[in-house]
């Protein structure tokens, strides 16, 4: 690896990292704003214009609170918990393709931290690690409520990962690639996976709600039963990290949803736009502007799903624990397997027929 | 017994497939919440916009003067007796010669103090007063205080300012709005809330 490539990668990774943090930060503001608007209120509007400085005020408050560690807690693990949650949440953003490529001085720079040919597998691995942050934190707190919350989180994540993976298999059968860049490239134009996999999409989005511990699956922090759930004993910035990790996860999973099902940076008529831009600005600048438009489209999709998360949160009440498990094991997994069979049959029998008919 | 026509019969019938799938119900719920997302907000931006609280709201106290600007209070102490929170205290004094334009009767309150931490704003002092001297204003609150010496209000804060007399003019919301409009256009000046220390 030469120096230029190394620098380019460093800059991309730092940019992706910063962008993820920024979006997660403003998601906390947006969550409160959306909550307010849905409840006929106006939400935070005192700190800065429209409350835009609210995340800074919240972070400042978190930093200046007493950093308390309970006497009987396992100190090392107590600190490791939120750090792990934050680390695993941020790791997943590395493989997301935010756009196609930039052409700078003859170099093709991909708008993706790491182009990996097992991208989606990597995301899955990292997301599965995410449960450690919660489990370690809950266990280290030495508090029954924390432990119960952590156990709930762990069992919930493990249960829903199965259905999530199965719903993904249908996508992989169609794309025959694990690379996120490749999956996006295959959905060129309006050829989005959502039109082929509506059932798979519903299963996937339900599971991602459960994986992010969001309403209606936020049982790990069910206040009425568990005080604060796994972060009962946490305060100051350690609590802040847990809450922040949730918002990062939310953005990452929204990005993954738009990559897998909604074509990432693809939009209808992109070839026409690309041709026009190249014609009027030349091959390099035109290409870069087209990439920027694609990236904007990608962020539009991802942010819509972040909004959708919030929208659902302020609409649906929380599930009961047995309902959660029933839904995961008895409904979603059979449905996902059914979806695989349907997709397999369609790929085997329907696709040749349709291709023949179209030609 | 039917109280409203909105009541629904509870039934334990088997749910249909659409109901069991739960997704149509979620879609309905999402439609309702997004409708509220775009609806008008009910919030009143408090320090900038204040609600009219009605003519019978009991705010801060005022010691009225009569039409000639003489203090009405005779320091009879009935308000202090009536006060359930024992917030009012006073010292009576006899009117001297030459003070007839200051005090309405021969006896007056040299000191009249209300402890605003004790006061529960019940309005019993208002009712007890035989001279219509003490009132609770309907248009001003006791402002937030941050120092101990701001708690007890003396006559300097309580006695009515003749240039800015307190009248309970607006008895309905519409009248209050009309008055607000007049106040904004400068037609009425006597109802502008006095600057609160």
**Number of domains forming the structure of chain A:** 1
- Over range A260-278, report the average pLDDT: 83
Site from B15, B33, B38, B46 to mutate, A interface, most A CB atoms within 10 angstroms: B33
Cα of B28 to nearest chain A Cα, Å:
10
Inter-chain touch B41–A41, beta carbons under 8 Å: yes
Whether B48 and chain A come into contact, CB under 8 Å, resolves to no
Q: Give the pLDDT band (50/70/90) at residue B138.
A: confident
| Alpha-carbon gap, residue A38 to B148, rounded angstroms | 42
| Alpha-carbon gap, residue A181 to A177, rounded angstroms | 9
Q: Which residues of A are less than 8 Å from B32 in CB distance?
A: 315
Cα of A193 to nearest chain B Cα, Å:
21
| Alpha-carbon gap, residue B18 to B21, rounded angstroms | 5
Nearest to A38 among B36, B40, B42 (CB): B36
Residue-wise pLDDT tens digits, B8-52:
788 888 888 877 778 888 899 999 999 999 988 888 777 777 776
| Alpha-carbon gap, residue B88 to A212, rounded angstroms | 59
Inter-chain touch B36–A312, beta carbons under 8 Å: no
Q: Which residues of B are less than 8 Å from A41 in CB distance?
A: 41-43
Q: Is residue B193 pLDDT above 70, yes or no?
A: no
Inter-chain touch B34–A41, beta carbons under 8 Å: no
Cα of B195 to nearest chain A Cα, Å:
25
Cα of B184 to nearest chain A Cα, Å:
26
- Over range A90-113, report the average pLDDT: 78
Inter-chain touch B26–A316, beta carbons under 8 Å: yes
pLDDT, residue B190, reads 54
Chain A residue with minimum CA distance to B30: A315
Inter-chain touch A315–B39, beta carbons under 8 Å: no
Nearest to B43 among A34, A42, A315 (CB): A42
Inter-chain touch B41–A315, beta carbons under 8 Å: no
Answer yes or no: is B121 a known binding residue.
no
Chain B residue with minimum CA distance to A313: B30
Q: Is the dihedral of CA A29, A32, A37, A40 positive or negative?
A: negative
Whether B46 and chain A come into contact, CB under 8 Å, resolves to no
pLDDT, residue B194, reads 34
Chain B residue with minimum CA distance to A203: B23
User: Which of A124, A122, A125, A118 minimizes the C-alpha distance to A181?
Assistant: A118
Inter-chain touch B43–A315, beta carbons under 8 Å: no
Answer yes or no: is B129 a known binding residue.
yes
Weakest-pLDDT range from A10-14, A17-21, A296-300, B163-167:
B163-167
Residue-wise pLDDT tens digits, A125-155:
888 888 888 888 888 888 888 888 888 888 8
pLDDT, residue B189, reads 58
Cα of B46 to nearest chain A Cα, Å:
11
The CATH code for residues B61-163 is: 3.30.70.3270
Residues A193 and A187 sit within 8 Å (Cβ to Cβ) = yes
Inter-chain touch A40–B41, beta carbons under 8 Å: yes
Inter-chain touch A315–B29, beta carbons under 8 Å: yes
| Alpha-carbon gap, residue B116 to A288, rounded angstroms | 68
Q: Is residue B196 pLDDT above 60, yes or no?
A: no
Weakest-pLDDT range from A192-201, A208-217, A223-232, A263-272:
A223-232
Chain A residue with minimum CA distance to B25: A316
What tokens does B15 get? 């749910």
> Measuring CA to CA, how many Å separate B80 from each of A247, B63, B108, B127, B128?
59, 14, 15, 12, 9
Chain B residue with minimum CA distance to A311: B30
Rg, chain A, Cα only: 22
Whether B17 and chain A come into contact, CB under 8 Å, resolves to no
| Alpha-carbon gap, residue A342 to A166, rounded angstroms | 13
Q: Give the pLDDT band (50/70/90) at residue B111.
A: very high
Cα of A307 to nearest chain B Cα, Å:
11
Whether B36 and chain A come into contact, CB under 8 Å, resolves to yes
Name the more confident of A263 and B122: B122
Residue-wise pLDDT tens digits, A231-246:
888 888 888 888 888 8
pLDDT, residue B78, reads 93
Whether A34 and chain B come into contact, CB under 8 Å, resolves to yes
Q: Is the dihedral of CA A308, A132, A140, A219 positive or negative?
A: positive
Q: Mean pLDDT of all residues in chain B?
A: 83
User: Which of A162, A169, A172, A166 minimizes the C-alpha distance to A211?
Assistant: A162
Q: In percent, how much of chain A has pLDDT > 70?
A: 99
Whether B23 and chain A come into contact, CB under 8 Å, resolves to yes
Q: Give the pLDDT band (50/70/90) at residue B192.
A: very low
Residues B74 and B132 sit within 8 Å (Cβ to Cβ) = no
* Boundaries of every domain in chain B: 61-163
Residues B167 and B132 sit within 8 Å (Cβ to Cβ) = no
Helix (H, G, I), strand (E, B) or coil at A104: strand
Cα of A202 to nearest chain B Cα, Å:
10
Domain that holds residue A135: 3-358
Whether A281 and chain B come into contact, CB under 8 Å, resolves to no
Inter-chain touch A38–B33, beta carbons under 8 Å: yes
Q: Per residue, what are the HEC states of chain B?
A: CCCCCCCCCCCCCCCCHHHHHCHHHHHHHHHHHHHHHCCCCCCCCCCCCCCCCCCCCCCCEEECECCCCCECCCCCCHHHHHCCCCCEEEEEEECCCCCCCCECCCEEEEEEEEECCCCCCCCHHHHHCCCCCEEECCCCCCCCCCCHHHCEECHHHHECCHHHCCCCCCCCHHHHHHHHHHHHHCCCCCCCCCCCC
- Over range B132-155, report the average pLDDT: 87
Nearest to A314 among B23, B33, B43 (CB): B33
Residues B60 and A61 sit within 8 Å (Cβ to Cβ) = no
What value of ipTM does the predicted structure carry?
A: 0.79
CB neighbours of residue A3 within 10 Å = 7
Chain B residue with minimum CA distance to A34: B37
């Amino acid at each position: 690896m030469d120096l230029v490539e190394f620098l380019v990668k460093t800059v991309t990774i730092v940019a992706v990292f910063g962008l993820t943090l920024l979006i997660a930060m403003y998601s906390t503001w947006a969550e409160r704003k959306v909550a307010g608007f849905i409840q006929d209120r106006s939400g935070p509007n005192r700190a800065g214009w429209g409350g835009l400085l609210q995340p800074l005020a919240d972070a400042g408050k978190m930093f200046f609170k007493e950093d308390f560690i309970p006497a009987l807690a396992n100190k090392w693990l107590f600190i490791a918990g939120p750090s792990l949650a934050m680390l695993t949440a941020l790791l997943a953003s590395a493989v997301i393709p935010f756009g196609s490529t930039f052409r700078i001085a003859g170099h093709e720079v991909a708008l993706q931290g790491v182009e990996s040919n097992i991208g989606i597998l990597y995301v899955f691995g990292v997301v599965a690690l995410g449960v450690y942050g919660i489990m370690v934190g809950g266990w280290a707190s030495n508090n029954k409520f924390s432990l119960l919350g952590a156990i709930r989180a762990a069992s919930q994540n493990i249960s829903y990962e199965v259905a999530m993976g199965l719903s993904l298999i249908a996508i992989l059968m169609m794309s025959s690639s694990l690379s996120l860049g490749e999956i996006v490239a295959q959905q060129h134009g309006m050829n989005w996976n959502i039109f082929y996999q509506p059932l798979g999409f519903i299963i996937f989005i339900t599971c991602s709600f459960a994986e992010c511990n969001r309403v209606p699956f936020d049982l790990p922090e069910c206040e009425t039963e568990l005080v604060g759930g796994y972060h009962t004993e946490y305060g100051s910035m350690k609590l802040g990290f847990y809450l922040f990790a949730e918002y990062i996860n939310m953005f990452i999973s929204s990005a993954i949803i738009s990559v897998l099902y909604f074509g990432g940076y693809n939009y209808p008529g992109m070839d026409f736009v690309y041709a026009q831009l190249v014609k009027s600005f030349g091959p390099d600048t035109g290409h870069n502007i087209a990439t920027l438009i694609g990236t904007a489209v990608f962020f539009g999709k991802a942010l819509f799903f972040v909004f959708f998360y919030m929208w659902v949160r302020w609409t649906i009440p929380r599930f009961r624990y047995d309902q959660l498990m029933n839904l995961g094991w008895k409904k979603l997994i059979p449905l996902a397997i059914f979806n695989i069979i349907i997709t397999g049959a369609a790929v085997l029998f329907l696709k040749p027929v349709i291709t023949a008919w179209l030609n | 017994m039917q109280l409203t026509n909105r009541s629904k019969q509870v039934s334990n019938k088997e749910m249909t497939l659409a109901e069991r799938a739960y997704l149509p119900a979620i879609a309905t719920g999402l439609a309702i919440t997004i409708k509220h997302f775009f609806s008008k907000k009910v919030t009143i931006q408090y320090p900038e916009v204040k609600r009219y609280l009605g003519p019978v709201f009991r705010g801060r106290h005022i010691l009225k003067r009569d039409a000639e600007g003489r203090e009405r209070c005779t320091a009879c102490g009935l308000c202090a007796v009536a006060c359930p929170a024992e917030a009012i205290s006073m010292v009576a004094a006899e009117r001297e010669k030459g003070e007839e334009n200051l005090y309405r009767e021969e006896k007056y309150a040299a000191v009249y103090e209300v402890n605003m931490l004790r006061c529960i704003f019940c309005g019993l002092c208002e009712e007890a007063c035989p001279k219509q001297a003490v009132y609770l204003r309907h248009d001003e609150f006791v402002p937030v205080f941050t120092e101990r010496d701001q708690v007890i209000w003396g006559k300097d804060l309580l006695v009515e300012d003749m240039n800015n007399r307190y009248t309970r003019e607006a008895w309905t919301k519409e009248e209050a709005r009309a008055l607000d409009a007049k106040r904004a256009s400068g037609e009425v000046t006597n109802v502008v809330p006095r600057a609160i220390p």
